[in-house]
Amino acid sequence: MEPGPLNGLDQVQEAELEQARQMRPAPERDVAPGPAPDAPGAEAPRRDAGARAAMSRQDVYAQPMRDGKPVPTGALTRFSTWLKYTLASELQRREWGLDEQLAHAPAMSRPNTVAVISPKGGVGKTTISFVLGNLLAEQLRLRVIALDANPDFGTLASLARDDHRSSRSLADLLADSSQIDSPAELHPYVARLPTGLHLLSAPAHAEVMAQMTPGLYGRLLDFLERFYEVVILDLGTGITDPLAQFAVDRADQTVVITTPEWVTAAGVLGALRYLQLERGTLVLNQAPTGRHAGNRDVIEANFRRHAVETSATIPYDDRLRVMLDTGTYALSALKLRTRVPVKELGATIAYNFV
């Protein structure tokens, strides 16, 4: 049998295709192997697109397929799809729209770094780094690592299940980096989550952490970008620290976290003047759902004046808190009202990748 795209077809299909091939112009050499153009009897290569696409999958499978079966297109199917959509809640439709958006996120041209910052403690920097990393790894199938760049005993790696955690830290990885050439050699240093997200912990000892200068972080990021498409930096509260300044300068995108209370949001807003943010993404996290929640539009408008656009308002969700604390986080198990803003954030970040 002739080598090329016909392998795997049955004899009837092959015979039909052979007939069709004889009626078509010869394909270009980079499409399928054939006689040299200057060989006796060889046809001159054509440059039109039709000649290139010798046989598309759609030629063979005229109907759209799903799960190995033709996608049903009958009137009954169309009606039940319409009914499902019409009866669905606004939030559910929003989620379907986001899934679609995420499925068509543009390809990135190089590894991207995302810094997650806030001058306030406990607002959710680690939580957002974690849920964002999981989403990008799971739904966009990107190679993502989130690293704990909190100089004060960060908690990021503790969010992994106990049996997934690594006892090694980013300082160990940096020290051994010259001996690591393949992704598999990274495994002992990172927690590998079922979503595909990897977590890299901060050193357990304060004196080791204190030695991590921005220059060393720069070397670590250069190294990680050889293996990952997205690096997420979960920072501490020190926004004027050289490390935070370095992270924001180095990052392609910065996510600013606040809660929607005036006390916290005003403090975060005030701290932004110490950062040279060209553009940032705001997350209002742990948003209460009560009646006296304050006017979030005013908060959002004030951040917008500092080039920080609101991407998502994530509610206070006790199930999320418990999932994180027990190492059992799963996006699909979150309530819709939390899942949707998490996807909104993911879509914003994905569409801003360079």
The entry of ligand ATP, Mg ion, none near residue 123 (CB within 5 to 8 angstroms by kind) is ligand ATP
CB of 325 to ligand ATP, least distance (A): 6
CB of 263 to ligand ATP, least distance (A): 15
Q: Site residues (CB under 6 A) for ligand ATP? A: 118, 121-127, 150, 155, 237, 285-286, 314, 316-317, 320-321, 324
Q: Is 252 helix (H, G, I), strand (E, B) or coil?
A: coil
Hey, which residues does 169 pair with through a beta bridge? Answer: 201
Residue at token pair 């100089």? 151
| Strand spans (E) along 172-212 | 191-192, 198-200
CB of 237 to Mg ion, least distance (A): 8
Q: Phi first, then psi: what are they for 280, rounded to 5°?
A: -135, 165
* Cβ contact 7:1 at 8 Å: yes
- CA–CA dist 274, 256 (Å, integer): 13
The entry of Mg ion, ligand ATP, none near residue 348 (CB within 5 to 8 angstroms by kind) is none
Task: For Mg ion, give the closer residue by CB, 125 or 168.
Answer: 125
- CA–CA dist 115, 231 (Å, integer): 9
The entry of ligand ATP, Mg ion, none near residue 285 (CB within 5 to 8 angstroms by kind) is ligand ATP
H or E element at residue 336: helix 336-351
Site string for Mg ion, 94-133 (x = CB under 5 A): -------------------------------xx-------
Task: For Mg ion, give the closer residue by CB, 140 or 232.
Answer: 232
- CA–CA dist 261, 298 (Å, integer): 11
Which amino acid, 235? L
The entry of Mg ion, ligand ATP, none near residue 121 (CB within 5 to 8 angstroms by kind) is ligand ATP
Torsion angle in degrees (nearest 10) through CA of 118, 255, 343, 122: -10
Task: For Mg ion, give the closer residue by CB, 98 or 149.
Answer: 149
Contacts of 194 (CB under 8 A, 6+ apart): none
Kindly state the number of chain residues that form the binding site for Mg ion, as judged by CB under 5 A: 2
Task: For Mg ion, give the closer residue by CB, 229 or 234.
Answer: 234
Task: For ligand ATP, give the closer residue by CB, 139 or 264.
Answer: 264
Task: For ligand ATP, give the closer residue by CB, 127 or 177.
Answer: 127
- CA–CA dist 107, 232 (Å, integer): 18
Site string for Mg ion, 155-194 (x = CB under 5 A): ----------------------------------------
* Chain centroid, CA 11 distance in Å: 44
The entry of ligand ATP, Mg ion, none near residue 237 (CB within 5 to 8 angstroms by kind) is ligand ATP
Which parts of this chain interact with Mg ion (CB under 5 A)? 125-126
